[in-house]
Structure 1
Amino acid sequence: MTEKETQRATLTHINESGQANMVDVSNKQVTYRQACATGYVAMKADTLKMIANAEHAKGDVFSVARIAGIQGAKKCADLIPLCHPLMLSKVQVDFAIDEVNNRVLITSVCKLSGQTGVEMEALTAVSVAALTLFDMCKAVDPNMVIGEIKVMNKQGGKSADWQHGDE
Structure 2
Amino acid sequence: MTGTLTHQDADGRIRMVDVGDKDETERRAIASGRITMSPAAFAAIRDGQGPKGDALKTAELAGIMAAKKTSDLIPLCHPLPITKAKVMINASATAPDFIIRAEVSTRGRTGVEMEALTAVSVAALTLYDMAKALDKSMTISDIVLDEKTGGKSGDYRRND
* TM-score, normalised by the number of residues in structure 1: 0.92
| Map of 1:18 onto structure 2 | 12
Give CA deviations for 1:83-103 in whole Å, capped at 9, x if unaligned: 000000000000110252410
Counterpart Cα distance in 1 of 2:13 and 2:158 = 29
Distance in 1, Cα, partners of 2:92 & 2:21:
44
Residue identity matched to 1:49: A
Q: Structure 1 regions of 5+ residues with no counterpart?
A: 1-6
CA contact (8 A) 1:45 1:99 kept: no
Q: Secondary structure at the match of 1:51?
A: helix
Paired amino acid for 1:23: V
Whether the 8 Å CA contact 1:93–1:107 is kept in 2: the answer is yes
Contact in 1 for aligned 2:51/2:130 (Cα 8 Å): no
The answer to whether 1:42 aligns with 2:42 is: no
CA–CA distance in structure 1, aligned partners of residues 53 and 93 of structure 2: 21
| Dislocated runs of 4+, deviation >6 Å | none
Specify the code of the residue in structure 2 equivalent to 1:118: V
Match of 2:64 in 1: 70
Quote the Cα distance in structure 1 between the aligned partners of 2:150 and 2:94.
35
Q: Is it true that 1:55 corresponds to 2:14 in the alignment?
A: no
Match of 1:90 in 2: 84
Give distance in 1, aligned partners of 2:92 and 2:79: 34
Instruction: Calculate the TM-score normalised by the size of structure 2.
Output: 0.96
Residues 39 and 147 in structure 1, CA contact (< 8 A), matched pair in contact too: yes
1:56 is displaced (CA, Å) by 1.4
- Return closer, same or farther for 1:113/1:130 CA change in 2, 3 Å cut-off: same
Root mean square deviation, CA, Å:
1.3
Give 1:118's aligned residue. Answer: 112
Between Structure 1 and Structure 2, whose CA radius of gyration is higher? 1
Q: Tell me the residue number matched to 1:133.
A: 127
Note if contact 1:31-1:114 (Cα within 8 Å) is conserved in structure 2.
yes
Tell me the SS of whatever aligns to 1:25. Answer: coil
Deviation at 1:164, TM superposition (A): 1.1
Aligned residue for 1:89, secondary structure, equals strand
- Give me the whole-angstrom Cα distance separating, in 1, the residues matched to 2:68 and 2:94: 33
Unmatched 5+ residue regions in structure 2? none
CA displacement 1:57-94 (0-9 Å, x = unmatched):
31110111011101111110001010000000000000
- In structure 1, give the amino acid aligned to 2:148: K
